[in-house]
Structure formats: structure tokens, C-alpha cells
Amino acid sequence: MKELATIQKREKLNEVWTIDEKGPGGAHHNYIIVSNEVNFKNQQPLFATEIQFQKGARKEESSTHGVIDTDLLEIVRDRLKSFQSGQYSSRENACALTHIEEALMWLNRRVEDRIERDVLGTNNK
């Protein structure tokens, strides 16, 4: 296990950890988010959420299926769009939203390129 060195250093609500060894592509595939707040009755974190990422090519039977990076980016995009249409609109949220949408565009370009070359879902480059 390794705690991630996150950008936010002060007043963090949670810790984020990798809980596996690096796999295909050199990335971790299992993460856990743990609350910094503790339930006083049992001295356990208020919550812990595990995130299982896709491990291996999507068309390989031996792959572990899970979420992909764009799934999480789409969730954050949806939340920021909601904040921007409400009372929590801010310049910082607008900038973050722009960059998340740009990240999604670039990741989708990679998918489209791999579809065109008929290598999506394989380990072929």
C-alpha cells in the first residue's frame, strides 16, 4: 500500500491509497479512498471506498474488468457542471471543468484512433 501525494495538502477530508502492485502499462489498478474522520464508537474510518480499474485489454478473457479513467472524469465533469449552474459557480470550477473536458477529448481521440486501427481492446499498439 502507498498513500498518494495529492495536490491538496491542507484540510483534506480523505486519504487516497494504492493497494496493489503496478500491472499492465505500469499503472496501479486498485485504489482505496479512506475518510480521515473516525467513528468514535469503533475507532474506524467513517467510510472506505475501493475503486477497481480495468486491468488488461478489454477483449482479453483474463482481464479484470473495472472502471476506466474516463468514467471518473465524466463523474467529476457532471458535478462541476452542476456546481457551475448553481450557487457554487466559480472561476476555479470553470477552469477545472475546461481542463477535464480537454482531458476527456484527448482520451477519446486515443480511443477513436485505436478503433480506426482495429486495436481497441487488445495489447497491440
Residues 89-124: pLDDT tens digits? 999 999 999 999 999 999 999 999 999 999 998 888
Question: How many of the other CB atoms lie within 10 Å of CB of 63?
Answer: 15
- pLDDT of 94 reads 98
76 and 32, same structural domain? Answer: no
Number of structural domains, the chain? 2
CB of 28 closer than 8 Å to CB of 22: yes
- pLDDT of 57 reads 87
- pLDDT of 41 reads 79
Of 23, 41, 67, the position where a domain reaches its end is 67
- pLDDT of 123 reads 83
pTM given for the model: 0.87
Give 25's contacts (C-beta < 8 A, 6+ positions apart).
Answer: none
Decide: helix, strand or coil at residue 51. Answer: strand
pLDDT category of residue 24 using cuts at 50, 70 and 90: confident
DSSP class of residue 65 equals P
Domain containing 6: what range?
1-67
Cross-strand pairs, 17? 3, 32
29 and 41, same structural domain? Answer: yes
pLDDT category of residue 85 using cuts at 50, 70 and 90: very high
